[in-house]
Amino acid sequence: MGENHTVDAKAPVGEKLPSFNLIDSSLLVKIDRLFACNAGDHVDLPQLVVVGQQSSGKSSVLEGLTGLPFPRDSGLCTRFATQITFRRSDESKISASIIPSRDCSDTHRACMESWGKRELDILDAMSFAAIMREVIDLMGVGPTSEPGSPAFSKDVLVLEIAGPDQEHFSVIDVPGTFKKKTEGQTTTSDIALVFEMVKGYMENPRSVMLTVVPCTSDIANEDVVQLADDLDPNGNRTLGVLTKPDLVDEGAEGDILDVMNEKSHRLKLGWHLVRNLGQRELKDKTSSRGSLEDRFFKTKAPWNKIDKAKVGVVALRMRLQKILTDHIRREFPKVKADIRKKLQAAEKALRVLGPKRQTAQEQSQFLTDIASEFQDLANSASRAQYVQSDFFGEVARRRLATVAINRGEIFAQIMADMGHEFNFTDEESDGIDGDDEDYAYDSSDEDDCATPKFDDGQFDSGASRKFTRLVAEDEDIADYVTEAEKITCPRTGDIIDWLTGVHRKNRGFELGSFDSSLLIMTMQHQAKKWKAIAKGYISDMIAIVHTLVLDLLHHVVPDKNLLGNLTSILSEHLQAKYTQAMEQTDFLLKIELEGTPATYNHAFTEVLNKCRAERVKRQLEFRVIEDKAHGSVVRLDDIVQTHSLSNNEQVVQEIHDILKSYYELSRKRFVDNVRMQAADHFLVTGPNTPLKLFSPRFVSGLTPSQLDEIVGEEQNAKRQRDRLEKEIGLLKECMTILRWF
């Protein structure tokens, strides 16, 4: 470029300055690449930021550092942050782009991004001013913006200058702070906006602050100096720059010298003094800034007595070289650690969202994986393979096979002990077989019959066993199960009287026999508690299975919305399966209690013969003679002369014996059928139980619209996933950039 501050493909930037790299090129390349991929949105990055009040000479300092012709028109004062990056490259090019602020609206962001990346042929004073005007208008902070709009923007203008003769250097220029509003131009809100913007850049613990203060001001009252003291109390990243020494009143130079000689307002990195060009000198094209400044600090007292390493733009660049290099090397390991933490946090957040499920294929695969896990656990539960997963743990209700067996045994025992309306005349009180050691009896209350106690924590014992229900159900299946009913005790000692009454009311012209309808009638009455007991058992099994289904869904489904959607669509199918189990129970009741009594089981004849033999035995017990040679014997005459029953009594007794024989056979058959068909086949182990419903096959039958309704991500989740994926990609790119550091 020459002294007309022109940047083009063939000319260097600004006036010709001594050739040295302000920062180690490899470090700056890494920083530039990190900024280019917007890493600064996620972690604090090392950067040089120039701050100062308006009219402090900040732009002139920047012009001296960069060689760029910053606009001096008051209407083009810095209204937004400008990031200026120089880098060495085989190809010469100049480009400009805009980074929208984090908190801007989507509309504003789209507008800024639509501006794109402008490639410039030249960057002289005129073209630089033109770019600034265009950006000011685009951001809506210029004179033509709507009334009431802010005069400053949080957006960032990025200028990149590359070429074979360029130095590696990057700096951020932020608007100058000010304390008084200007009517029609700035407001109180603008004052606060600029202060917070400047503070935001200064708060970055990895920024090196170049605080620019004019010699004509009271340093102690400078906002940026006070703010730097607060944000950088150790002074590791603050370099003070004093400007306009040529405007200091005669006699006041001592205060500036005290600062430069570290006698007042001390900074760890010290102060530097520069002399900016005045308006008349800017118009004079015969001399360069470097030569004028060099002559000033060599000849003008008392400034010529200051250490030459602390005066002039060239020396300032050299000081910054060491400060920035040391600072960046110190901060880069921290940057890398921060990026790694951010990456781990973002990856964890993405894992919480689960696999991507936006297309029908993604949704189907996602739901199929969940269904497969559901089936694995459900199969383990029904096969008692509890060591396969931590899901079962110590939660007894999840051990389905065990709970089903235990509840089925209780059902069988209750049916044996309390399922009949009357005790038969020769019935013992020790249960079906009399040798079941797993059960005990509680007869402490005279008004309550003995009830079974089962040694299992899943079910209550004692008085609660006198009810048909032992398990509480979820409210969403309340309409598909029965309510608990109290089971009355079998009546004792009056079955013959009852059978006699039934016979008298229903006998016909039979001689020495009875009509088969009497067996149906008495069987229905004797077994009238079967319905409540059996349906209570199946209701409990439905509740057990449904609770397990819900537990499994909670375990395998990753988020609440999906859980709610899936439970909703499964609900109707589950309820149909529960209804099937209940209908099968009704069917078995109908067969046993309304159908024609029938059996091919030889046990019926054996039990009947045993009943008859026992009856004869009881009639002859008082005629027994104890014989030493033959034991207990009865004389033949006594057998023949045994008191015979009347015809009606004989028939009633026969009804009793046949009823007892058939009832016992029917009860055992009914208990097995209810257990194997209604409970096991329809609810626990069959091929179409509720546990088999949610499967990969079920998923494959869903339409795309159903899949989207169940699994489709909500807009918030989609936005969050997109954000996280973009952030993870960016952070991984950053880790690659810093890989060898």
| Candidate from 278-292, 427-441, 557-571 with smallest mean pLDDT | 427-441
Q: Kindly state the percentage of the chain with pLDDT values over 90.
A: 31
Average pLDDT over residues 464-469: 78
| Contact present, 161 and 69 (Cβ < 8 Å) | no
In this prediction, residue 647 carries a pLDDT of 65
pLDDT band at 456 (very low <50, low <70, confident <90, very high): very low
CA dihedral 360, 365, 370, 376 (to 10 degrees): 140
pLDDT band at 651 (very low <50, low <70, confident <90, very high): confident
In this prediction, residue 148 carries a pLDDT of 66
Average pLDDT over residues 35-55: 75
| Candidate from 12-21, 430-439, 568-577 with smallest mean pLDDT | 430-439
pLDDT at 25 over 70: no
Give buried/exposed letters for 81-119 (b at 16+ CB in 10 A, else e): bbbbbbbeeeebebebbbbbbeebeeebbebbeebeeee
CA dihedral 305, 306, 307, 308 (to 10 degrees): -90
pLDDT band at 643 (very low <50, low <70, confident <90, very high): low
In this prediction, residue 435 carries a pLDDT of 37
Kindly tell me the burial class for residue 31, based on how many C-beta atoms sit within 10 Å of its own C-beta (0-12, 13-18, 19 or more).
Answer: buried
pLDDT at 117 over 80: yes
In this prediction, residue 19 carries a pLDDT of 44
Average pLDDT over residues 283-291: 73
Average pLDDT over residues 358-369: 89
Distance CA 345, CA 624 (A): 93
The 10s digit of each residue's pLDDT in 653-681 is 888 888 888 899 999 999 999 999 999 99
pLDDT at 600 over 90: no
Work out the mean pLDDT of the chain and round it to a whole number: 81
Tokens of 601: 């089981």
Enumerate domains of the chain plus CATH numbers: 25-345 (3.40.50.300), 369-712 (no CATH)
The 10s digit of each residue's pLDDT in 207-253 is 899 999 999 998 888 889 999 999 999 888 999 999 999 998 888 89
In this prediction, residue 432 carries a pLDDT of 36
In this prediction, residue 620 carries a pLDDT of 65
In this prediction, residue 334 carries a pLDDT of 81
More confident residue, 291 or 238: 238
pLDDT at 450 over 50: no
The 10s digit of each residue's pLDDT in 473-502 is 888 899 999 999 999 999 887 888 888 888
pLDDT at 555 over 90: yes
- CA-closest candidate to residue 155, choices 135, 170, 171: 135
pLDDT band at 451 (very low <50, low <70, confident <90, very high): very low
Distance CA 209, CA 591 (A): 93
pLDDT band at 145 (very low <50, low <70, confident <90, very high): low
pLDDT band at 332 (very low <50, low <70, confident <90, very high): confident
Distance CA 686, CA 288 (A): 95
Residues in Cβ contact with 12 at an 8 Å cutoff, skipping those fewer than 6 apart: 1, 67, 163, 165, 166
In this prediction, residue 297 carries a pLDDT of 92
In this prediction, residue 136 carries a pLDDT of 87
pLDDT at 355 over 60: yes
In this prediction, residue 542 carries a pLDDT of 96
Highest mean pLDDT (candidates 50-59, 116-125, 440-449): 50-59
In this prediction, residue 496 carries a pLDDT of 84
In this prediction, residue 5 carries a pLDDT of 41
Which residue blocks in 478-559 are alpha helix, DSSP H? 495-506, 516-526, 530-556
Helix count (H) and strand count (E) of the chain? 23, 11
Tokens of 635: 């004389």
Average pLDDT over residues 73-87: 75
pLDDT band at 6 (very low <50, low <70, confident <90, very high): very low
Distance CA 199, CA 203 (A): 6
Average pLDDT over residues 449-454: 40
| Contact present, 358 and 712 (Cβ < 8 Å) | yes
